[in-house]
Structure 1
Amino acid sequence: MKKKVLAVVLGMSMVVAMMTGCGASKETSDSANSAEKTYTIGISQFAEHGSLDNCREGFIEGLKEEGLEEGKNLKIVTNNADADTGTAAQIADQFVADKVDMICAIATPSAQAAYNAAMETDIPVVYTAVTNPVAAELANDDKSPVGNVTGTSDELPVEAQLKMIREILPDAKTIGILYTTSEANSVYSIEQYEKLADKYGFKIEKTGITNTSEIQLAASDLLGKVDCLTNLTDNTVVSALPTVLGLANEKGIPVFGSEIEQVKLGCLAAEGIEYTQLGKDTGKMAAKILKGEASASEMDYELITESSLYVNEKVAENLGITVPDTMKERAVESFTEITEN
Structure 2
Amino acid sequence: MKKIISVAIMLALTAGLLVGCGTTTGTSGKSKVTIGIGQFAEHGSLDNCKNGFLEGLKQEGYVEGENLEVKFENAQADGAIAGQIANNFVANKVDLICAIATPMAQSAFGAAKNTDIPVIFTAVTDPVLAELAKADGTPNGNVTGTSDKLPVERQLEMIRAILPEAKTIGIMYSTSEVNSVSAIEEYKAAAPAYGFEIVESGISTTADIPLAADNLLEKVDCINNLTDNTVVSSLPLILDKAAEKNIPVFGSEVEQVKIGCLATVGLDYYDLGIQTGKMAAQVLKGEKKASEINFEVIEEASFYGNTKVAENLGITLPEDLVKGAKEMFQTISE
TM range (shorter): over 0.9
Rounded Cα–Cα distance in structure 1 between residues aligned with 2:329 and 2:124: 27
Match of 2:125 in 1: 131
Verify the 8 A CA contact 1:263 1:311 in the aligned structure 2.
yes
| 2:294 pairs with 1:300 | yes
Kindly provide the CA deviation profile for residues 111-134 of structure 1, in whole angstroms up to 9, marking residues without a partner as x: 000000000100000000000000
Verify the 8 A CA contact 2:40 2:74 in the aligned structure 1.
yes
Rounded Cα–Cα distance in structure 2 between residues aligned with 1:40 and 1:156: 32
Kindly provide the CA deviation profile for residues 78-119 of structure 1, in whole angstroms up to 9, marking residues without a partner as x: 110010111100100011111111110000000000000000
Instruction: Letter of the 2:270 partner, please give it.
Output: T
CA distance change for structure 1 residues 77 and 202 in 2, over 3 Å: closer, same or farther? same
Please report the TM-score for the alignment, with normalisation by the length of structure 1.
0.93
Pick aligned residue for 1:328 from 318, 322, 325: 322
Match of 1:81 in 2: 75
Verify the 8 A CA contact 1:41 1:101 in the aligned structure 2.
yes
Kindly provide the CA deviation profile for residues 242-273 of structure 1, in whole angstroms up to 9, marking residues without a partner as x: 00001000000000000000000000000101
- SS of the residue corresponding to residue 162 of structure 1 reads helix
Instruction: Letter of the 2:109 partner, please give it.
Output: Y
Instruction: Letter of the 2:256 partner, please give it.
Output: Q
Rounded Cα–Cα distance in structure 2 between residues aligned with 1:231 and 1:34: 41
Kindly provide the CA deviation profile for residues 171-196 of structure 1, in whole angstroms up to 9, marking residues without a partner as x: 00000000000000000001110110
Match of 1:21 in 2: 10
Bigger radius of gyration, 1 or 2?
1
Pick aligned residue for 2:251 from 231, 237, 257: 257
Match of 2:303 in 1: 309
- Aligned-residue offset at 1:25: 3.5
Gaps of 5+ in 1: 1-10
- Aligned-residue offset at 1:326: 1.0
Write out aligned runs for 1:28-177 (5 A). Answer: 28=17, 31=20, 37-177=31-171
- Aligned-residue offset at 1:27: 5.3
Instruction: Letter of the 1:317 partner, please give it.
Output: E
Verify the 8 A CA contact 2:24 2:61 in the aligned structure 1.
no
Kindly provide the CA deviation profile for residues 293-313 of structure 1, in whole angstroms up to 9, marking residues without a partner as x: 110011000101221000001
How many aligned residue pairs are there?
329
- Aligned-residue offset at 1:170: 0.2
Pick aligned residue for 1:291 from 285, 289, 295: 285
CA distance change for structure 1 residues 312 and 30 in 2, over 3 Å: closer, same or farther? closer
Match of 2:238 in 1: 244
Verify the 8 A CA contact 2:39 2:100 in the aligned structure 1.
yes
| 2:179 pairs with 1:179 | no
Please report the TM-score for the alignment, with normalisation by the length of structure 2.
0.95
Verify the 8 A CA contact 1:157 1:305 in the aligned structure 2.
no
| 2:208 pairs with 1:214 | yes
- SS of the residue corresponding to residue 80 of structure 2 reads helix
- Aligned-residue offset at 1:29: 6.8
- SS of the residue corresponding to residue 36 of structure 2 reads strand
Instruction: Letter of the 1:273 partner, please give it.
Output: L
- Aligned-residue offset at 1:59: 0.2
Gaps of 5+ in 2: none
Verify the 8 A CA contact 1:328 1:334 in the aligned structure 2.
yes
CA distance change for structure 1 residues 31 and 313 in 2, over 3 Å: closer, same or farther? closer
Verify the 8 A CA contact 1:158 1:192 in the aligned structure 2.
yes
Please report the RMSD computed on the Cα atoms of aligned residues, expressed in angstroms.
1.7
Verify the 8 A CA contact 2:24 2:285 in the aligned structure 1.
no
Rounded Cα–Cα distance in structure 1 between residues aligned with 2:16 and 2:195: 70
- Aligned-residue offset at 1:18: 2.6
Instruction: Letter of the 1:205 partner, please give it.
Output: V
Rounded Cα–Cα distance in structure 1 between residues aligned with 2:7 and 2:280: 42
Instruction: Letter of the 1:18 partner, please give it.
Output: V
| 2:333 pairs with 1:339 | yes
Rounded Cα–Cα distance in structure 1 between residues aligned with 2:183 and 2:265: 14
Higher helix share: 1
CA distance change for structure 1 residues 31 and 199 in 2, over 3 Å: closer, same or farther? same
Instruction: Letter of the 1:21 partner, please give it.
Output: M
Instruction: Letter of the 1:81 partner, please give it.
Output: A
Match of 1:235 in 2: 229
Kindly provide the CA deviation profile for residues 1-44 of structure 1, in whole angstroms up to 9, marking residues without a partner as x: xxxxxxxxxx87x4585376257447537846985711111110
Kindly provide the CA deviation profile for residues 203-257 of structure 1, in whole angstroms up to 9, marking residues without a partner as x: 0000000010000000100010000000000000000000000100000000000
